[in-house]
Structure 1
Amino acid sequence: MRTLTYYVGSSLDGFIADPEGGLGMFAISPDLVDFIATEYPETLPGQARDQLGLTTAGKRFDTIVQGRYSYALALDAGVGSPYPHLKQYVVSSTLPADVDPDVTVIPADPVGAIRALKQEDGDGIYLAGGGNLAGQLLPEIDELVVKVYPVVAGGGIPMFGTGFAPTGLRPSEHRLLADGTAILRYELQPG
């Protein structure tokens, strides 16, 4: 069975974007780029992969799932297929089904769709965001990988857009980069 990994960047106080969905508060250092290119190369959009000369297949994922607002970052830049090296799914009840030939729109029941994807053959599934979608999919998330940037946002879009719902995590790896970014990896505890 395939696994669903929520791989996300966050401020120290748990926000994945500013109130308008922008990511400008997160400084991207050479150390972080090297880490991502080495450990999670498939999580880089196609344009970034091209700029870095990355042509190898992914190490962990062959599929990406993201919410409407995360996908909007690419659309606003005129890119309909931001991850051409992955099978792309966008959860949205407002996007047309034919938004891009390389993107499959999931218009309803994201939990059911993820359960079906997890039953298919393939590598892992990368959940790119956003927080509301991650909150809906929390029961299906197998692993959480957080790039914790050394910044306090004070507000914005939370990592999980759910109400109070404590969920146990089991730490499986941690790493501190020279720029102060912490990489924290957890497995979600069943139950």
Structure 2
Amino acid sequence: MRKLVYYVAVTLDGFIAAEDGTFDGFVFEGDHMAGINAVYPDTVPTQFREAVGLQDAPNPNFDTVLMGRNTYQVPGGLASPYAHLRQFVVSSSVTDTPPDVEVINSDVTGRVAALKQEDGLDIWLCGGGKLAADLLPQIDKLLLKIHPVVFGRGIPLFDGKADITKFRRTDAQLFESGVSFLTYEREND
């Protein structure tokens, strides 16, 4: 069975974006970029893959990406940001997407459960604090790029009511840029 993996950048105080949905305070240069991109090239937006030398890189981890509306409609965003993956946007208001971006507007948990049953690589939950809170019971793994910045307020990593869920750290990488890359797996109940 495929795993649902919440892979996201986060501040020291637990925010994935500022209140307006921007993430300008994150560190976009440094040794962490090459180090993480080498292992997770599938998470680099399609239009930037060539610029960072990943245009021919295979997708070793993910073949599907799941985004909340705000993640998909980030200011300056692309209509098909991850064309090298199967793309889903969870929204009741987004209707105008290209053919390679499918909108899920009802029974999100059922649809994600069905996606997990399909053959293929893992499913990347790209963002959306509210979506992550709703899908927490189905999240199998967390990949957190913790940036050395405090926003003070913004969109939390999990934005909403969620039951206590335990994960165990399975890997940690520290970079000179100050970014920490932590991997957590869901503990067996």
Partner of 2:123: 125
SS of alignment partner, residue 132 of structure 2:
helix
1:52-75 CA distance string (max 9 Å, x none):
1212111110100000000002xx
Contact 2:8 2:127 in 1 (8 A): yes
Contact 2:6 2:124 in 1 (8 A): yes
Q: TM-score, normalised by structure 2?
A: 0.95
1:87-136 CA distance string (max 9 Å, x none):
0000000011x511110100112111110000111001000011000000
1:110 to 90, 108, 111: 108
2:167 to 155, 166, 169: 169
Deviation at 1:78, TM superposition (A): 6.0
Partner of 1:71: 72
Q: Percent sequence identity over matched residues?
A: 45
Partner of 1:93: 92
Q: TM-score, normalised by structure 1?
A: 0.94
Q: Tell me, which stretches of 5 or more residues in structure 2 are unaligned? A: none
Contact 2:66 2:125 in 1 (8 A): yes
State the distance in 1 between where 2:132 and 2:178 align.
25
Residue type of the partner of 1:168? Answer: K
State the distance in 2 between where 1:53 and 1:130 align.
28
Deviation at 1:30, TM superposition (A): 2.8
Contact 2:6 2:143 in 1 (8 A): yes
State the distance in 1 between where 2:113 and 2:162 align.
23
Deviation at 1:167, TM superposition (A): 1.1
State the distance in 1 between where 2:158 and 2:119 align.
28
Residue type of the partner of 1:104? Answer: E
SS of alignment partner, residue 183 of structure 1:
strand
Matched, 1:82 2:81: yes
Partner of 2:22: 22
Deviating more after overlay: 174-183 vs 162-171: 162-171
